[in-house]
A = this chain, B = another copy of it.
Amino acid sequence: MVNFSWTFLAAFLAVWAPSVTALWPQPQQITTGTTPLRLSPGFSIQLSNINGAPQDLRDAITRTKQYLQKDNLQILAPDRGASNAGAISKANTLSKLTLSLDGGTVTSISQEAVKPLESRVEGYSLSIPANGGEAVLSANTTLGLFRGLTTFGQLWYDWDGTTYTLEAPINIVDSPAYPYRGFMLDTARNYFPVSDILRVLDAMSWVKLNTFHWHVVDSQSFPLVVPGFEGISQKGAYSSAFTYSTSDVKNIVQYAAARGIDVIAEIDTPGHTSIIYTSYPEHVACPLATPWAQFANEPPAGQLRFASPATTNFTASLLTSASSLFSSQYFSTGGDELNINCYTQDTQTQQELAQQNKTLEQALDTFTQTTHGALREKGKTPVVWEEMALVHNVTLGNDTLIMVWISSQNVQAVAQKGFKVVHAASDYFYLDCGGGGWVGNYPAGNSWCDPFKTWQKAYTFNPTANLTEAQSKLIMGGEHLLWTEQSGPSNLDPIVWPRAATSAELWWSGAGGNVDTALPRLHDLSFRFLQRGVNTIPLQPLWCALRPGVCDLTA
């Protein structure tokens, strides 16, 4: 028998240990002190030596001030900070944050956000003195300043209307480990209103994600209105209300760019295109063929007749027009899950191949070179799924971004071929896995990519496993992905957050994160997200969230 007073005391001490700072993602370098500091009631954010500061930077400053006023984030402790009241009331005050741009010409966040991955400059340094006065945020670009503003907004807790930290002075030097830090949303299986996408973009920016991979169309629906091809969405969207007009897209692209996010749209070709048969039946092989499982990985079957020069030209024109809606340097042509049987059974395709004396693979090469060539004429770099590099014998430019989705085991093979890699593996980053299958008349009901991918699994992923140093340099970053067979506006937030934030830290801070120290910061993140209107799920009972470490497995 033991006397329990010591165990009670131990738990009590853990309860009152100072909460970690609510930063997410963790900066590359940070030093903190132990001095309380509070924001002055008249706290201001000012621009220094920035002639003609762009409007998106000014707007970002306004948002940062709004968040500082409205987040009301209380520390992770049972008393939520009440016991800090005395220290806070006597603390020095910080009266302003000054933004300093160290580089040359001033370009907007929006312009910086859509530069090629390698030339995007997102680093910054932030210095907050313990004795109050002025904090300084420095960067070489407005995009870097924006990332620093995001960090600044996470440094503070609130008690009774006072915004404070207990950890001044704070000095941060920060920049991302990987240039591609994404999130993918499928808006074709089920539709999401523009307002949902804008909320996703806001949330992404809070964790410094910089790429919205928009899987906008697929076999089930075609909500994107493409100039010159309006008939596809007229007949292929779920309804006229379930479309993205050109002004919707412009709104989304601008909203994203102003938040440091590049929108990489995807029109998946030549597979995943069944719905185009409703407007251009001549371009689609095996439309709605049954049993669908012999013709496609998902119903409905139907793929572009890529062996046909007319279909190839149609696709090139479609991609050219669609890509012109986006300011990104990149555009994805998809290329996953091509079903060969669909073409074997398609009379027209077989006739085309015979006439051209080509194999199916040779025709696919022609199709890919033509469509990618059309994009390159518009200055775009193609993005494709892994099969284009590993399964099919097609010519790809060395700069093509290859998204590895089937398995993280396939990354090595792509890197060995010298291609740039985006991690998007189903075994780590598919948010839809483990929630049950969606095909009908299937009593077993499991999902193809069981089990559920926990935040811990993504967070502890090693992006350069089994790669040489040279191959490791081909890793551009990665993304969480939401395929929406069983998602819609009703569960968008809880299925995405906070899991997508965990890879955001992986790509920004680099590998090696510890789940134990991450968890309290994820709680802070969740409380902040909820306060800002994003419905993250709780990862623990509130009792545990307020007592970091006390609910650890071995605590």
Contacts and interface: CB of A to CB of B under 8 A. Distances in A.
B543 A439 contact: no
A392 to B, nearest CB: 23
A488 B544 CA distance: 14
A443 B512 CA distance: 12
B542 A190 contact: yes
Interface string A179-208: 000000000111100000000000000000
A73 B288 CA distance: 27
Interface string A541-555: 111100011111111
Interface in A502-545: 515-516, 519, 530, 535-544
A189 B4 CA distance: 24
A91 to B, nearest CB: 25
Contacts of A551: 292, 299, 438-440
Contacts of A288: 7-8, 11-12
A98 B204 CA distance: 55
Contacts of A219: 543
Nearest to A78: B238
Nearest to A526: B490
A219 B554 CA distance: 18
Contact of A535 (B350, B436, B490): B490
B1 A540 contact: no
A544 B438 contact: yes
Q: Which residue among A12, A540, A550 has the maximum number of chain B CB atoms within 10 Å of its CB?
A: A540
Interface of chain A, main secondary structure: loop
A515 B438 CA distance: 11
A499 to B, nearest CB: 9
Contacts of A8: 287-288
Contact of A1 (B350, B455, B456, B554): B350
Contacts of A7: 288-290
Contacts of A434: 434-435, 451-452
Interface in A197-235: 219-221
A540 B543 CA distance: 36
A191 B543 CA distance: 11
A219 B444 CA distance: 36
Contact of A346 (B1, B443, B452, B455): B1
